[in-house]
Amino acid sequence: MRPADFFDFIPLDRPRLRLTTACDLAIGLGCAAVLTAWAAGQPLFYSPAAPVMSPFTALSLLIMAAVRQARLHFETWPMVLSLAMIGLVLGGNVSSIVMLATTPAELWASFPGLVLTSVMTSIGLAVFCAYDLVIVLRRTPESAFIMDDLLIHLALVPGGVSLLGYLLGKPTYLSVHADPRVGISPLEMVFLGLYAVAAVVSNPQLFLWRFLARGWTNRLVFVGLFANQFAAPLVVALLLTKPGASGPGVELFVMLAGVVATMSFLLLQARLRARDAVPV
């Protein structure tokens, strides 16, 4: 056994460390303010008829950001503590999904002082937790199967669908339940976006960084693919969706097709890179 098998310290260059710390600090301060406001009985941006950021969402993000910062700054931070705290957040969000799916809506909607985490938010947090568990257990490898990149990309899907919901005014895409307060609020979209940025910046071993470093052509291609996931669905929705229509529309399938296209493209590029790296 080596000391590195017990400790979970991640050395980063100064620019990456500063940006990651800034993002996590913003998340930490924001989530602490959300929790404090709930404890004081005055939730931030509260509306009985619109999604409100749940205190459970704030607690999840606060723990996840704190674990990442501990891994970045404390050389003797134990790996088992990272696994335990990430597992706690993962278990809590999976339980929330099960509870919302199995219990009568009238039950949890009858508590005016409590707002649960929406299913879509919990899915995004659970995928982020899966990514964090994977990188805690091993360094991102140079492999044709870029699982770390795929998990990060999948974690962004709930946020993309939610953004589409706000732009189109569709509560279905906001994961709104029988209780209209349960859904994805703009505030948690910002925090989830910051967490995703910090996750990508803090892992220089991602295949995405190697792909983008190969030239401006690769960068422009990826920007086009990534933008297509959000621009194309919006254009399709504006052209084909009837005013007042509810429920998922063709724009959702266009977005999912864009996600699959981007992930497939990265997988193909990783496979080609791995093949070229094999000595003849």
Quick one: three-class SS letters along 213-264?
CCCHHHHHHHHHHHHHHHHHHHHHHHHHCCCCCCCCCHHHHHHHHHHHHHHH
* pLDDT of amino acid 110: 66
CA 80 to chain centre: 23
Q: What is the pLDDT of residues 35-93, one digit of tens each?
A: 999 888 888 888 877 788 889 999 999 999 999 999 888 888 888 888 999 999 999 99
Place of tokens 């919302």: 100
DSSP code, position 4: G
* pLDDT of amino acid 210: 85
Residue 202: strand, helix, or coil: coil
pTM of the model: 0.86
Contacts of 250 (CB under 8 A, 6+ apart): 236, 237, 240, 241
DSSP-derived secondary structure for 162-186: HHHHHHHT-GGGGT--SSTTSS--H
